[in-house]
Amino acid sequence: MFRHLIKKFLRLLSVLVAVTALTFLMMDVLPGDVAYEIAGADATVEGVKALREALGLDRHIFIRYGDWLAGVVQGDFGRSLLTHEPVANAIFACLPVTLELMMISQILALVLAIPIGIISAYRSRSGLDRAFSATAFAFMSAPVFVMAMVLIYIFALKLRWLPATGFAPLSEGLLANIRSLMLPAASLALLEWAPLMRVLRSDMIATLQETFILSAKAKGLSARKILFDHALKPSSFTLITILGIHIGHLVGGAVIVESIFALPGIGRLLVGAIYSRDLNMVQGCILLITLGYVVVNFLVDALYSFLDPRVRAQAD
């Protein structure tokens, strides 16, 4: 069990080092850098050179990477090359918005996926099951920005139930805060629920064949009690794993959704930094996103082996 987790942890570290080293390397190989961006269009060659020296861009790539990495270990991500604000401050200001968005969207996705998955498994191969499957298939084919535009059109512009863009921080009240995140979270959730529902449905169908379900039926328990109390937990292992994997989808989706809805989250920060070629900011965002992603996967993996004795036995 522990060896398994240590192996996973080492892999986690190697992913982080590989990703950051790669971004640094690409930066070095390719032409054009932020010094020109800062200096502006009418800069002299000497001016740009001086600026490069001041920013430390003229040093060898290994030294710069080592410097940056040493800083990161101490919690120092450097400063934005454009605004000179510490990268860590900018990121931590944006982080809560992204986390809240992802949390609400995961909850919405599960609220859709669990009941529909259970009903589909219980009434497997019925007309209802087919209708749900077809719906899920259609939702899996709608790109997140298409979904977001349709939701804005219906709920913000036509029905005027929810705000179209903008973010209300918690200081403006919980309701306003959640209302401002409702459409962005729904855009992500409507995309994520379908695969979740499908894995739950197929696992549930397998569980419902088991003898302990038969004995529960023989005891005369109601269908609702059997499904929720007896069948749901042993059917949700794959669901949990998929939830972890989907963090990656959600991160990608969050980048787009935050841009559409003008939410001050990490995704919007990253896209803005890309537009202005702010290397330190891009590096910081990418590192943080990768970190979050691999840590969540690591935790899901640990949780999975904790929940399912078969995996635990295999790993030892």
Partner 1 sequence: MAHPIQNTESACHGPMPLSEKLGIGFWLSVGWIALVFACAIFADLLPLAEYDAMDWKNQASPPGFRAIRSDSHGQSAITTVYVFGTDTMGRDILARLIYGARISLAVGLIAPMIGLVIGGIIGMLAGFYRGRAETIVMAIMDVILAFPGLVLLLAVYFYLGPGLDKMIFALGFLTIPAFTRVARANTLNFSQRDFVTAARALGQSDIHILAREILPNIVMPMIVYALLIVSYMIVAEGSLSFLALGVPPPTPSWGGMIAGGKEMLDEAAHVSLIPALVMFLTVLSFNLIGDAVRALVDAREGQL
Candidates 242, 243, 263, 269; binder of partner 1 (CB under 8 A) is 242
Candidates 162, 286, 300, 315; binder of partner 1 (CB under 8 A) is 286
Dihedral angle, C-alpha 105, 159, 150, 176, nearest 10 °: -30
**φ, ψ of residue 79 in degrees (nearest 5):** -115, 150
**φ, ψ of residue 164 in degrees (nearest 5):** -75, -45
Scan for tokens 């454009």, then name that residue.
82
**Stretch in the footprint of partner 1 (CB under 8 A) among 45-53, 81-89, 229-237, 288-296:** 288-296
Q: Residue 271 or 303: which CB sits closer to partner 1? A: 271
Smallest distance, Å, CB 202 to partner 1? 3
**Stretch in the footprint of partner 1 (CB under 8 A) among 100-108, 211-219, 239-247, 307-315:** 239-247
45 lies in the site for partner 1, by CB under 8 A: no
- Residue 145: what residue type? F
Dihedral angle, C-alpha 131, 135, 137, 138, nearest 10 °: 140
In DSSP terms, 79 is beta-bridged to 86
Rounded to the nearest 10 degrees, the angle between the axes of helix 237-261 and helix 87-122 is: 130
Smallest distance, Å, CB 46 to partner 1? 26
Chain-centre distance for alpha carbon 16: 16
How far lies 11's CA from each of 14, 17, 54, 66, 297, in Å? 5, 10, 36, 20, 11
Candidates 47, 56, 66, 143; binder of partner 1 (CB under 8 A) is 143
251 lies in the site for partner 1, by CB under 8 A: yes
27 lies in the site for partner 1, by CB under 8 A: yes
Give the binding site for partner 1 (CB under 8 A). Answer: 11, 14-15, 18-19, 23, 26-27, 29-30, 32, 125, 129-130, 133-134, 137-138, 140-146, 149-150, 152-153, 157, 188, 191, 195, 198-199, 201-202, 205, 238, 241-242, 245, 248-249, 251-253, 255-256, 259-260, 270-271, 274, 277, 282, 286, 289-290, 293-294, 297
